[in-house]
Structure 1
Amino acid sequence: MSAQSSSTGRFPTAVYGERLRRAAELTAAAGLDALLITPGPDLRYLLGSRADSFERLTCLVVPADGSAASVVVPRLELAALGDSATAELGLSVRDWVDGVDPYALVGSLLPTPSRTAVAEAMPALHVIPLTAALGAPPVLATGVLRELRMLKDEAEIEALRRAGAAIDRVHARMGQWLRAGRTEAEVAADIAVAIVEEGHTGAEFIIVGSGPHGADPHHEVSDRVIESGDIVVIDIGGPVEPGYNSDSTRTYSLGEPSPEIAEQFAVLERAQRAAVDAVRPGVTAESVDAAARDVLAAAGLAEVFVHRTGHGIGLSVHEEPYIVAGNRIELAEGMAFSIEPGIYFRGRWGARIEDIVVVTADGCESMNLRPHGLTVLGG
Structure 2
Amino acid sequence: MGTAAAPLDVSTMQARLVKLRVAATKAGMAAVVVTPGSDLRYLIGVGGSSFERLTALVVPADSDALPVFVSPALEFAELGDVPLDELGVEVRTWVDGDDPYPLVLRGLAAGRLAVSDMTPALHVLRLAVAGEREQVLAGPVLRELRMRKDAAEIEQLRQVGEAIDRVHERVPHFLQLGRTEAQVGADIAAAIVEEGHAVAEFVIVGSGPNGASPHHGVSDRVIERGDVVVVDIGGPLPSGYNSDSTRTYAVGPPRESGVLAAYAALHAAQQAAVDAVRPGVTCEQVDHAARSVLEEAGLAEHFIHRTGHGIGLDVHEEPYIVSGNDLPLEPGMTFSVEPGVYFAGRWGARIEDIVLVTADGVERLNNRPHDLVEL
What range describes the TM-score normalised by the shorter chain of this pair? over 0.9
Instruction: Report the count of equivalent residues.
Output: 370
Shift of 1:9: 2.0
Shift of 1:92: 1.7
In structure 2, what is the equivalent of residue 249 of structure 1?
246
Residue 186 of structure 2 is aligned to residue 189 of structure 1: yes
Shift of 1:108: 1.3
Once the two structures are superposed, the pairs formed by residues 346-357 of structure 1 within 5 Å of their partners are 346-357=344-355
Q: Work out which of the residue numbers 67, 70, 93 in structure 1 matches 2:68.
A: 70
What is the CA RMSD across the aligned residues, in angstroms? 1.5
Residue 23 of structure 2 is aligned to residue 21 of structure 1: no
Once the two structures are superposed, the pairs formed by residues 121-136 of structure 1 within 5 Å of their partners are 121-136=118-133
Q: Deviations over 1:161-192 (max 9, x none)?
A: 11100100000011221011000000000001
Residue 199 of structure 2 is aligned to residue 202 of structure 1: yes
Q: Helix, strand or coil for the counterpart of 2:92?
A: strand
Q: Helix, strand or coil for the counterpart of 1:89?
A: coil
Shift of 1:106: 1.5
Would the aligned equivalents of 1:26 and 1:144 in 2 still touch at CA under 8 Å?
yes
In structure 1, what is the equivalent of residue 317 of structure 2?
319
Would the aligned equivalents of 1:163 and 1:239 in 2 still touch at CA under 8 Å?
yes
The whole-number CA distance in structure 1 between the counterparts of 2:10 and 2:81 is 11
Q: Deviations over 1:17-75 (max 9, x none)?
A: 11111001111111111110111111111111013211111010101112331100000
Once the two structures are superposed, the pairs formed by residues 111-130 of structure 1 within 5 Å of their partners are 111=109, 113-130=110-127
Shift of 1:80: 3.1
Once the two structures are superposed, the pairs formed by residues 334-349 of structure 1 within 5 Å of their partners are 334-349=332-347
Once the two structures are superposed, the pairs formed by residues 96-111 of structure 1 within 5 Å of their partners are 96-111=94-109
In structure 2, what is the equivalent of residue 159 of structure 1?
156
The structure-2 alpha-carbon separation of the partners of 1:231 and 1:58, relative to structure 1 and needing over 3 Å to count, comes to same
Larger displacement relative to structure 2 (277-286 or 259-268):
259-268
Residue 328 of structure 2 is aligned to residue 302 of structure 1: no
Would the aligned equivalents of 2:167 and 2:188 in 1 still touch at CA under 8 Å?
yes
Residue 9 of structure 2 is aligned to residue 12 of structure 1: yes
Query: Which residue identity is paired with 1:313?
Result: I
Q: Helix, strand or coil for the counterpart of 2:203?
A: strand
**TM-score between the two structures when normalised by the length of structure 2:** 0.95
Q: Work out which of the residue numbers 328, 331, 341 in structure 2 matches 1:330.
A: 328
Shift of 1:266: 1.1
Shift of 1:149: 1.1
The whole-number CA distance in structure 2 between the counterparts of 1:217 and 1:199 is 26
Shift of 1:134: 3.2
Q: Work out which of the residue numbers 234, 258, 261 in structure 2 matches 1:260.
A: 258
Q: Work out which of the residue numbers 278, 289, 292 in structure 2 matches 1:291.
A: 289
Would the aligned equivalents of 1:181 and 1:225 in 2 still touch at CA under 8 Å?
yes
Shift of 1:82: 1.8
In structure 1, what is the equivalent of residue 139 of structure 2?
142
Would the aligned equivalents of 2:5 and 2:46 in 1 still touch at CA under 8 Å?
no
The whole-number CA distance in structure 1 between the counterparts of 2:351 and 2:51 is 38
Q: Work out which of the residue numbers 42, 45, 48 in structure 2 matches 1:45.
A: 42
Q: Helix, strand or coil for the counterpart of 2:156?
A: helix
In structure 2, what is the equivalent of residue 3 of structure 1?
none
Q: Helix, strand or coil for the counterpart of 2:162?
A: helix
Shift of 1:229: 1.2
In structure 1, what is the equivalent of residue 92 of structure 2?
94
Q: Deviations over 1:187-226 (max 9, x none)?
A: 0000010000000000110000001111111111000000
Would the aligned equivalents of 1:337 and 1:358 in 2 still touch at CA under 8 Å?
yes
Q: Helix, strand or coil for the counterpart of 1:357?
A: strand
Q: Helix, strand or coil for the counterpart of 1:163?
A: helix
The whole-number CA distance in structure 2 between the counterparts of 1:255 and 1:101 is 63
Q: Which runs of 5+ in 1 are unaligned?
A: 1-6
The whole-number CA distance in structure 1 between the counterparts of 2:312 and 2:58 is 23
The whole-number CA distance in structure 2 between the counterparts of 1:348 and 1:23 is 48
Shift of 1:264: 1.6
The whole-number CA distance in structure 2 between the counterparts of 1:51 and 1:289 is 34
**TM-score between the two structures when normalised by the length of structure 1:** 0.94
Q: Helix, strand or coil for the counterpart of 2:33?
A: strand
Would the aligned equivalents of 2:8 and 2:44 in 1 still touch at CA under 8 Å?
no
Shift of 1:83: 5.3
Query: Which residue identity is paired with 2:298?
Result: G
Shift of 1:273: 0.2
Query: Which residue identity is paired with 1:330?
Result: P
Q: Which runs of 5+ in 2 are unaligned?
A: none
Shift of 1:87: 4.7
Query: Which residue identity is paired with 1:366?
Result: R
Would the aligned equivalents of 2:5 and 2:41 in 1 still touch at CA under 8 Å?
no
Would the aligned equivalents of 1:286 and 1:323 in 2 still touch at CA under 8 Å?
yes
Q: Helix, strand or coil for the counterpart of 1:225?
A: coil
